[in-house]
Amino acid sequence: MSSTMKQSRSEFINIRGLRYQVRRWGSEGAPKIFMMHGLLDVSASFQFLVDELRGDWHVIAPDWRGFGLTQWSGRDSYWFPDYLADLDALLEALQPGEPANLVGHSMGANVTCMYAGIRPERVRRVVNLDNYGLRGTQPQEAPARYQRWLGELETTPSFRRYASFAELAERMRRENPLLTAERATFLAPHWGRLNDAGQVELAADPIHRFVNPVLFRVEESKACWKRITAPVLAIEAGQTHIRKSLGLSDEELVARKACFANLRVQVIPEATHMLHHEFPEKLAGWIEPFLLD
């Protein structure tokens, strides 16, 4: 962990009717980088990456709807297109009329890569941290998926509860031995929140636990990726669980990469999916030259 932690500041802005938390680092007049976190993560997770940046940057990282300190949707479902629309509204509010530098991790990378093909004129550079979309699905899966979703709507979802933020930090380290104790201690109060009973639970709407009833159609994502005009830097984790959990074959991974016309790839062989927590100095060493190119 960097000996000098850069100070962030938070503000709340209205994005499509929701009170969005936006975290900022650096000076207002510096070149902007938008950093978009993944599922069940928060904007503060980019602290370690920001600390390793050597240049003068204005980093902007929101908590997605239903995560961190951003308002929950108030509905019984979260729809992927809403994240695309939220990103569009965020850029219009904070960098109107100018192509943006986008860094996305996991779900955040899925959103930014699709957005870069939907509105290519709004994107200058894309950094994709360990994501090439979701598992491809078949239409015949739809009935069972909808059936499962309808059943879940009849339940009240919840997250596991912890006695303290220290207990949450310990759990984070058990799941990721590469996460240092110092970083886990920093992350726990951002990942977690105190509930009414004084216990700690994840700072996210439990509705996110419901299955998405809409099947992921990989051909639609590929069509978006093929329209990206911005250079894309993909940084892959050698020990990620993502490829295995999604069932991505080597052939399918090659086919997905081929959709990006201007793709550069870097790999951290020893990293897991949470590479921004584990090797932020390596990420910064690749990201800054790429954004300055």
The arithmetic mean of pLDDT across residues 209-220, rounded, is 94
| pLDDT the model gives residue 48 | 98
Asked if the model's pLDDT at residue 242 lies above 90, the reply is no
For residue 219, what pLDDT band results from cuts at 50, 70 and 90? Answer: very high
The token pair that represents 195 in the structure block: 């509930």
Share above pLDDT 70 across residues of the chain, in percent, rounded to a whole number: 99
- Count CA atoms closer than 13 A to 216's CA, side-chain side: 17
What is d(CA 111, CA 104) in angstroms, rounded to the nearest whole number? 8
What is the rounded average pLDDT of the residues 231-247? 89
Largest CA distance in the chain: 53
Per-residue pLDDT band for 227 (boundaries 50, 70, 90) equals very high
Three-state SS for 11-22 is: EEEEECCEEEEE
Residue-level pLDDT at 250: 87
Answer yes or no: is pLDDT of 22 > 70. yes
Burial level of 140, CB count in 10 A (0-12/13-18/19+)? exposed
CB 131 within 8 A of CB 153: no
Q: Are strands 58-62 and 18-25 parallel, antiparallel or unpaired?
A: antiparallel
- Position 2 scores a pLDDT of 54
Domain boundaries, the chain: 8-136+217-292
Q: Are 276 and 236 a contacting pair, CB within 8 Å?
A: no
Q: Is residue 1 scored above 70 in pLDDT?
A: no
Q: What is the per-residue pLDDT for 3? A: 58
Taking residues 94-99, report their average pLDDT. 96
pLDDT, residue 243, reads 77
What is the DSSP pairing of strand 192-194 with strand 200-202? antiparallel
Mean of pLDDT values over 69-98:
96
pLDDT tens for 35-56 read 999 999 999 999 999 999 999 9
The whole-number pLDDT of residue 99 equals: 98
Which structure tokens are listed for 167?
């207990």
What is the CATH number assigned to the segment(s) 8-136+217-292? 3.40.50.1820
